[in-house]
Amino acid sequence: MTKSRSRRRSGKSRTVSAPRRGWWRWMLLLGLLLLAVMGAYAAWLDHTVRSQFEGKRWSVPATVYARALELHQGQRLTRRQLELELEALGYSQGADTRQPGTWRASGSGIELSSRPFTHWDGHEPSQRLHLTFADGRINMLRRLDGSAVSLARLDPAVIGHIYPGHREDRLLVRLEDVPPTLIAGLVVVEDRAFFQHAGISPSAIARAAAANLRAGRVVQGGSTITQQLVKNFYLSSDRTFWRKGNEAIMALLLEARYDKEDILETYLNEVYLAQDGDRAIHGFGLASQHFFGTELARLSLEQQALLIALVRGPSFYHPRRHEQRALARRNLVLDLMSEQGVISRDAARVASSRPLGLRPARTGPRASYPAFMDLVQRHLLRDYQREDLQTEGLRIFTTFAPSVQHATEAAIQERLRDQPVDVEAAAVIVDVDSGEVMALVGGRNPRYAGFNRALDARRPVGSLIKPAVYLAALDQPARYGLGSLLEDVPLTVTDERGRPWEPRNFDRTFRGQVSLVDALAYSYNIPTIRLGQEIGLSTVGRTVERLGAPTPRTLYPSYLIGTGELTPLQVAQVYQTLASGGYRSPLRAVREVTGQDGTPLSRYSLAVDRVFDPASVQLVNLALVEATRRGTGRDIYRYLPSGLTMAGKTGTTDETRDSWFAGFGADRLGVVWLGRDDNAPTGFTGSSGALPIWGVAMAAIEPAPYADVLAPELEWVWIDGESGARSAEGCEGARRLAYRVDAAPEEWTACGQRVAQREEGGGLGGWIRGLWR
């Protein structure tokens, strides 16, 4: 009986313990699985931390600079032009010029303190300079201590960036270049135990947890600097427990793998501090430039404290929008720095008494130059991948001239102010000798980053093509000269299908015969078509291509008077070759490219190709000078100062759909187009539409006048306007024209022959001259 009970109890015990062992077995397996999942998740987080922290941490956009303005005595530069350059640079105007990036008027001159800058070819230190001006030039350049300066170079203005999609911008700094007081102040304010904890602060977390439990949601963070970095670097800003958990784990992993200095340097470059339009300002380096216009190492104590203050709330404490709030927060930072022994009480008191010291905010909309930036990117994409331009922090030095751009934009806006909104414009300004694009406007609203008409609007060029026709003729001196007579009588041209075309002059008048120089200066269509047919359409086409523009596959007689389509930039290339005397320099917008550290990567040097005999080109240019003196371009002198001789050509297409003007002096070339995107008529001819814009712009730019000093292969000859024969000074109808030496007409007018004989041997003067032979 006892044994039986014992067996039953033993059996019952076995039946109860089996499920318990199974339950614990499942719990153990579940725990191991959970640990494995957590381990895998932690490994994934660790991989995430390492992959970005050890790789390329940021996508740093390329910074695009204007050309650096070089100053020297005798340079063509007005005081107003220098003021515009300084405005583009963001220099502050005031009574004190001790700080770099400041200037003031001084009598008839300017005093300025330039900023130090590392150019592509070396470092330029800050200098305090005094300049005076006279007759449109710098007539004195000295340092404020009185010492002479042969050449000074200003820092270039930042004109844009080439952003990745998120449009974050930053200027990377190394920890050793950051002021020690800024580092210590940041730690005191944001994470006092930074150098002691392992990534998270339990006491701070406890305080935050209590507040969050009371609120029933996440309302407060106990984040360390490391956790803030993790949030900014890897995670979203969502206030959830899941995100906070990830943040804590990743902070521990980050601290386990990397030293405090590396984490702190990364934080200094990553933290968001301001918004500038659609550009996000990240990092203390760029924030220093944005708010104070100087590098981080040069910041005063109160300026450092303001940047530290912004970490807590960049929008809430924005110093330009909330000055008093920012001032109070800055002074609180100074007090905390004093309490923790970072600075003395006296230093804190003095710094607290000072104003915020911000650089002046830009008035009006932020300057942007989308049309020129478009040209820069197109040039760079020949040699660089787009991703490299957006992420590698390249420094791109361009040919952009802020004062020239300002003058061009102002001229367009002044002229179109009272015109219908669908009348558009485009303009290109080029340095004649180098082919450098100094200014580019893609539409009447120069800030609109839409259709870039300067680069992409292919429009019929009208009479702007005619100089190519006359160059092709004058390159044959045995057949043509400026005084050669061309027929201006009705003309019928039959195409290959037998269809007639009867072109007319713009004024619907025929003149019988006109000189070659007048046919170009007055832009007569009939003589131009006849001349083009004589020398051959293919010859004209090759001439246009040598000048630098593409031509249609098939040429028709109408091409000779401008039915061919070109963009304003392509027209500028054609006229650059003319303006430089037959030396074609491919138009360029980029000079140099360096890495973020200043290492030279690319240099786009001047390239010159002699494509025409300079004497032939000068004959065409002299005819274009006649066009502005007496011909279709004569109205430019309503806008230009007296004595400023320029060469130029108007262009008008059928029903006034397109209005063009291209003109140049010794050093500047400008092309202006006016029209509608839908190709509807504008009512403007070249002289009534584009020419005034060109004239107003050039009056502000103040180019050097066209110099008509003849090439050695040319000489001045008196020609009879009606017959085209040789004449002499004083004879009726005689005019002085340039001809190639020994290529002037052999026929003489009676008056010209008499004068020539008298000068050679007739009369008392000839007898006396004969005694000395």
Per residue in 631-669, pLDDT (tens digit) is 999 999 999 988 899 999 999 999 999 999 999 999 999
* Structure confidence at residue 5 (pLDDT): 46
* Residue reference for tokens 């550009």: 279
Average pLDDT, the chain: 87
Q: What is the pLDDT of residues 181-200, one digit of tens each?
A: 999 999 988 888 888 787 67
Cα distance between residue 719 and residue 744, in whole Å: 9
Cα distance between residue 422 and residue 478, in whole Å: 49
Judge contact between 540 and 578, C-beta under 8 A: no
What proportion of the chain, given as a percentage, has pLDDT over 90?
65
Indicate the fold that domain 63-162 takes in CATH: Penicillin-binding protein 1b fold (3.30.2060)
What is the mean pLDDT of the segment spanning 324-341? 94
Left (φ > 0), alpha (ψ -120 to 50) or beta: where does 422 sit?
alpha
Cα distance between residue 126 and residue 152, in whole Å: 10
Other CB atoms within 10 Å distance of the CB of residue 349:
14
Per-residue exposure over 297-329, b if at least 16 CB sit within 10 Å of its own CB, e if not: ebbebbbbbbbbbbbeebeebbbeeeeeebbeb
pLDDT at 772 over 50: no
Judge contact between 423 and 402, C-beta under 8 A: no
Do the domains 63-162 and 428-701 sit in the same CATH topology, yes or no? no
* Residues classed as catalytic: 190, 463
CATH number for the domain formed by residue range(s) 428-701 = 3.40.710.10
What is the mean pLDDT of the segment spanning 429-439? 97
The single-letter DSSP state of residue 703 is: P
Diameter of the chain by CA atoms?
174
Sheet order of strands, 137-143 included: 92-93, 102-106, 109-113, 128-134, 137-143
* Structure confidence at residue 770 (pLDDT): 38
* Structure confidence at residue 37 (pLDDT): 61
What is the mean pLDDT of the segment spanning 340-345? 93
Q: Specify the amino acid at residue 241.
A: F
Tokens for 614, please give them: 């300079």
Q: What is the pLDDT of residues 28-61, one digit of tens each?
A: 777 767 666 666 656 655 555 566 565 555 678 8
Ranges of each domain in the chain: 63-162, 168-352, 428-701, 714-772
Cα distance between residue 180 and residue 185, in whole Å: 8
Cα distance between residue 418 and residue 439, in whole Å: 24
Tokens for 245, please give them: 């958990």
What is the mean pLDDT of the segment spanning 556-570? 97
Q: What is the CA radius of gyration of the chain?
A: 37
Report CA 400 to chain centroid distance, whole Å.
Answer: 5
What is the mean pLDDT of the segment spanning 662-682? 97
Greatest mean pLDDT among 85-99, 183-197, 348-362, 404-418: 404-418
Cα distance between residue 654 and residue 431, in whole Å: 31
Cα distance between residue 372 and residue 437, in whole Å: 9
Cα distance between residue 85 and residue 403, in whole Å: 6
Beta strands in 497-616 (DSSP E): 500-501, 512-515, 565-566, 583-584, 590-594, 600-603, 609-610
Cα distance between residue 171 and residue 473, in whole Å: 57
pLDDT at 64 over 60: yes
Rounded to 10 degrees, what is the CA torsion of 341, 342, 343, 348?
Answer: -90
Length of the chain: 773
Tokens for 59, please give them: 């996508």
Helix (H) or strand (E) holding 151: none
H helices of 601-642, where?
A: 614-629
Strands 102-106 and 109-113: antiparallel
Residue 766 three-state SS = helix
Judge contact between 657 and 682, C-beta under 8 A: yes
* Structure confidence at residue 11 (pLDDT): 46
> If pLDDT is split at 50, 70 and 90, which confidence band does 387 have?
confident
H helices of 554-603, where?
A: 568-579
> If pLDDT is split at 50, 70 and 90, which confidence band does 8 have?
very low
- Residue 157 has φ and ψ, to the nearest 5°, of -75, 140
Cα distance between residue 173 and residue 178, in whole Å: 7
* Structure confidence at residue 99 (pLDDT): 87
Tokens for 374, please give them: 């478009």
Q: Specify the amino acid at residue 653.
A: T
Indicate the fold that domain 168-352 takes in CATH: Penicillin binding protein transpeptidase fold (1.10.3810)
Cα distance between residue 700 and residue 404, in whole Å: 8
Nearest alpha-carbon partner for 506 in 524, 490, 491: 524
* Structure confidence at residue 60 (pLDDT): 82
* Structure confidence at residue 12 (pLDDT): 46
What proportion of the chain, given as a percentage, has pLDDT over 70?
85
Judge contact between 453 and 432, C-beta under 8 A: no
- Three-state SS annotation for 232-266: HHHCCCCCCHHHHHHHHHHHHHHHHHCCHHHHHHH
Supply the angle between the helices 323-339 and 345-352 in degrees, to the nearest 10.
Answer: 170
Beta bridge partners of 670: 429, 663
Which of residues 524 and 285 earns the better pLDDT score?
524
Strands 512-515 and 485-488: antiparallel
Judge contact between 565 and 553, C-beta under 8 A: no
Q: What is the pLDDT of residues 243-282, one digit of tens each?
A: 556 667 676 766 767 788 888 888 898 899 998 877 888 9
pTM: 0.83
- Three-state SS annotation for 70-94: EECCCCECCHHHHHHHHHHHCCEEC
Cα distance between residue 626 and residue 615, in whole Å: 17
Greatest mean pLDDT among 15-24, 293-302, 654-663: 654-663
Residues 6+ apart with CB under 8 A from 689: 656, 659, 674, 682
Residue 286 three-state SS = helix
Helix (H) or strand (E) holding 158: strand 158-162
- Asked whether the CA dihedral 178, 180, 183, 189 is positive or negative, the reply is negative
Judge contact between 360 and 319, C-beta under 8 A: no
